[in-house]
Amino acid sequence: MKPAVVALLRFKLDKAHARVAGGGAASLAADVGARLGCGAAPCVFPPARRLERTRAAFGLDAAWYACAVGGPAASVRTYDALAAFLDGGDHDGVAVVEPGLIAEGAWIPNEPAFMGRQWLVSNAMNLDEAWDEATGSSDVVVQVVDTGTPAGHEDLAGALWTNDEEICENGVDDDGNGFVDDCHGYDFFGASGSVEPSPDYSERDHGAHCAGIVAAVSNNGVGVAGVAGGDGSPGSGARLMTAKVVGAAGAFSGMAAALVPDTWLQSDLDAIDYGQAKGVIYVFSATNGNNEARLYPAAYAGVVAVTNVDYKGVRRRPRHHMADYGDWIDVVAPGVSIYSTLIDGYGLATGTSQATPFVAGALALAYSRAPDVSREALLNCLFATARTVDAANPGYEGKLGDGMVDAAALLACACVETPSCGATTTTAAAPADACAGLKKSKCKKKAATCEFKKRTCRAKCAGLEKSKCKKKKATCEFKKKTCRAKADCAALEKKKECKASSCKWRSKTKKCKAK
């Protein structure tokens, strides 16, 4: 995918202006951004008490703001916006305005709110780089198990999955799957084909918010950009199938709750087993209870358990929800002050529920890039490429899974040796065929090259960067831009296999030995 052209307009507020002196710098910057025609304008150098005096001496104080213009003809539109601003005469509160450098970088969507409200979060997961390879495909379907999805929302309507074998609202089970009028999903609590959120439920926006994170239509110039929301072209963007599990009274069915094993319904666990056997990847959230105890369904075998951190990878912040933790967590994703779709617009929310759709969206991106990748291989990639956040969370080491999901590395890993990706050059490692899918007992028997972690067997060295790979030179080797487990030389009995590895064939003894 061709990188987008991005142009910046930077401006410095007049610190003597009444609104700035009165604490209204942010609102004034928003007004200036609107006058410039480029939307939200975040602060370039946020206030930092320890550094403020030094930075101010070089003119790098908190009065600088910037807004971005992306997409086709960005440089021309930026010039026109600057010219109109300068010619308009309304420069109140602005001391300096200048065009930034035109940068050709990773593809970014053209939603006005993206740079101001979503960029930090997307950058934390390397979504910008991932979008250079894939933005989502309509061939990939993500089911959102939640409070329902508003079909008429401007940013969600185009992303809804449609059952082509069902005639909507005719009261007949046309496709014979046991559900009547399941056109965009099904209301499992109310037993109907309507997936609209219940208007009298206190958290009715919950499902819409999560759905928007996964696949709100991207690059349509309005609202927000979903993780797998496409690039605005026909057929792009993952499709959202809705499983409504909350009724008007607010009671949750089993699939939506996090419960201890003794109260979990075996029928629901059997349903998860059935889906996993069919290749489905389940991604469930922990809770916001500051709890270490294993909770289901997130802790169930094969399910991806997600908890939330902020965009810096920090688990707990003042005034924020306290996310669960523990050795049962698989990965983390941003879940603090996330901007996404609501039933009647857009808004912020915080919690493990927000982190979970980021993971689901990243997996949807990987499937759109590598549709032939196996479920086991993709899960191996998800865990192997996550970046540890232990250093940012003292006291919680080993209790936040493998770390922050890295969407770009996940896509690269999924593409290695996957025919559907074609020729791909990458530094990420593919899951070793000898490890992927092995049960725990068999995995441990191959301890030289495999490890059983997070309920999955995977290659020991898969996904490590070159520097980290070389630090594990006793067990790993970096070859052909890939980190892989060193061969068990003694186990290689054939001369051809030995020479193809990092071992050396001893002609006299006719045995394979380490070099």
As annotated, the active-site residues are 146, 206, 353
Nearest in space to 443 (alpha carbons), one of 402, 327, 434: 434
3-class secondary-structure state, position 124: helix
Interstrand relation of 141-146 and 239-244 (parallel, antiparallel or unpaired): parallel
Amino acid making up residue 55: R
Residue 295 CA, distance from chain mean position: 22
Rounded Cα gap, residues 317 and 340, in angstroms: 21
Q: How far is the first Cα of the chain from the last one, in angstroms, to the nearest whole number?
A: 43
Helix %, strand %, coil % for the chain, to 5? Answer: 30, 20, 50
Q: In a 10 Å sphere around its CB, with 0-12 CB exposed, 13-18 middle and 19+ buried, how is residue 41 labelled?
A: buried
Nearest in space to 201 (alpha carbons), one of 250, 164, 254, 271: 250
Q: In a 10 Å sphere around its CB, with 0-12 CB exposed, 13-18 middle and 19+ buried, how is residue 412 labelled?
A: buried
Q: What is the number of other CB atoms lying within 10 angstroms of the CB of residue 322?
A: 16
**What sign has the CA pseudo-torsion 275, 273, 413, 354?**
positive
Rounded Cα gap, residues 285 and 292, in angstroms: 13
Contact present, 363 and 280 (Cβ < 8 Å):
no
Residue 99 CA, distance from chain mean position: 31
